[in-house]
Amino acid sequence: MDELIALLGRNWRLLLLYPGGLAALVALLLARLLLEDRRNLRRGAERLRGREIIIAAAWLLTIALLPLPQTGWPYALDLLVLLALIELPHWTSIISTPDRAPDEIAAQLAPLLNVYPLLALSIALLGQAAGSLVVHEINRSGGWLHWLGIVGWASTLPPLLGLGPWRDRYTLGTLSALRRVAHMGLLLAAALPAHNETPTVMALEGFACLLLPLAALDRWWRGRSEWWIGWQPWLVVAFALVAASTSGAVLLARLR
């Protein structure tokens, strides 16, 4: 406990200012303003009770742990662990809500299950490019394989975050917006180099480069998910072939 208190004391800016705390709340407000209708901005704030408060606290802590530029968190964090900290509470919230019918739960889980294979392959490409799944190693790597993984990951965000044709009444409110901010922050942490010379303003610019296209897509792409559903299997196959070929090339190089 003493070590934990000392760790939090040395890194209080990460929890209270940036990337957590004040910065996360501003990002949350921007996400709600741009990704929701104005009449729905107050919807969901009063519904944060019990389990929802715990989930929101877990996501705020996850955002505070992200290795964004000029953060300097002392512990190396695995990308899969951070992703699980975002998705597992979301699944718990969906499955354990008592007033939802089974068909509603299935309808909300289906887009996630459909897009997870492409997300997993994109993360695999990032891991191959960096030789590690530690976020600090990933955001210090580069090359075409790295950026292909970033592009593949970004392409999963609309169905993953419930935007455009995947929007429903459960993707409104503070909790859903906070999950969207956590996902966008995690993608930025993998894409932006977290070196000491990287300015903090790059995190703001990167967030704007994600949020604005997603907001435009959310308003333009309504009721036309068939286009993505038709292309998604081909993207999964293409990414799987790239991952298999690159891993096979590495294996052959080691055998030689």
pLDDT in tens, the chain (256 residues): 455 455 666 677 888 888 888 999 999 999 999 988 655 555 544 456 777 888 898 999 899 889 888 887 767 789 999 999 999 999 988 887 767 777 778 888 888 988 999 999 999 999 998 889 999 889 888 888 899 999 999 999 999 998 888 887 777 788 899 999 999 999 999 998 866 678 888 899 999 999 999 999 888 876 666 667 777 788 888 888 888 887 666 555 555 5
Cβ proximity of 209 and 154 under 8 Å: no
**Per-residue CA distances from 1 to 4, 7, 8 (Å):** 5, 10, 11
Distance separating alpha carbons of residues 113 and 90, to the nearest angstrom: 13
Instruction: Name the pTM for this structure.
Output: 0.89
Distance separating alpha carbons of residues 207 and 139, to the nearest angstrom: 16
- How many helices (H) does the chain have, and how many strands (E)? 12, 0
Q: Is 78 helix (H, G, I), strand (E, B) or coil?
A: strand
**Per-residue CA distances from 76 to 31, 73, 111, 131, 220 (Å):** 28, 8, 31, 14, 39
Q: Which residues pair with 78 in a beta bridge?
A: 134
